[in-house]
Amino acid sequence: MAGIPGEVRHDRTRADDRPETPNQFAGIGLVLSGALSVLQGITGIARDRLFGTPLHYEYRFDLTAWGWIHLVIGVALLIGGIALLRGVPWGRPAGLALAAVSLVTQFMFIPYYPVWCIAVMVLDLMVLWTLARLAV
């Protein structure tokens, strides 16, 4: 669609006329989820007595181990989110995979810190839905 000369278009589009906004939303979501996971990981490593420990739970690891798991996944989410925001070609598939891994690990960590985990899971689900819709 041709615009008026000098007109500023507010709907940013890619070369194939698909909007960039969903990529930006998903990238910001990944960065936020990554930052929250990094904070969760640091807390688990530094102060592993902060979280409650369930007595009968199949995925009951040492909380320091959970802290390292969340820290590694959080850093990967940050890298994937930045890649998605920068428009790197592998950003979208990496974002899908990382959000799915984050969702599963947060689900496994629910007995330790339910409110935080559910908030991050909702964010991960929104990112997954956004990136999956872009693939269509």
**Domain coordinates in residue numbering, the chain:** 21-134
- State pLDDT tens for residues 62-118: 788 889 999 999 999 999 999 999 989 899 999 999 999 999 999 998 888 889 899
Q: Between 74 and 133, name the one with better pLDDT.
A: 74
* This prediction's pTM: 0.79
CB count in 10 Å sphere of residue 35: 14
As a whole number, mean pLDDT of residues 34-61 equals: 78
In this model, does residue 19 exceed pLDDT 50? no
Q: How far is CA 136 from CA 32, 62, 79, 100, 130, in A?
A: 25, 41, 24, 18, 11
Contact 31, 77 (CB under 8 A): yes
Q: What is the pLDDT of residue 50?
A: 59
Orientation angle between helical segments 114-134 and 91-108, nearest 10 degrees: 150
- State pLDDT tens for residues 25-41: 999 999 999 999 999 99
pLDDT band at residue 52, thresholds of 50, 70 and 90? Answer: low
In this model, does residue 8 exceed pLDDT 50? no
The amino acid sitting at 68 is: W
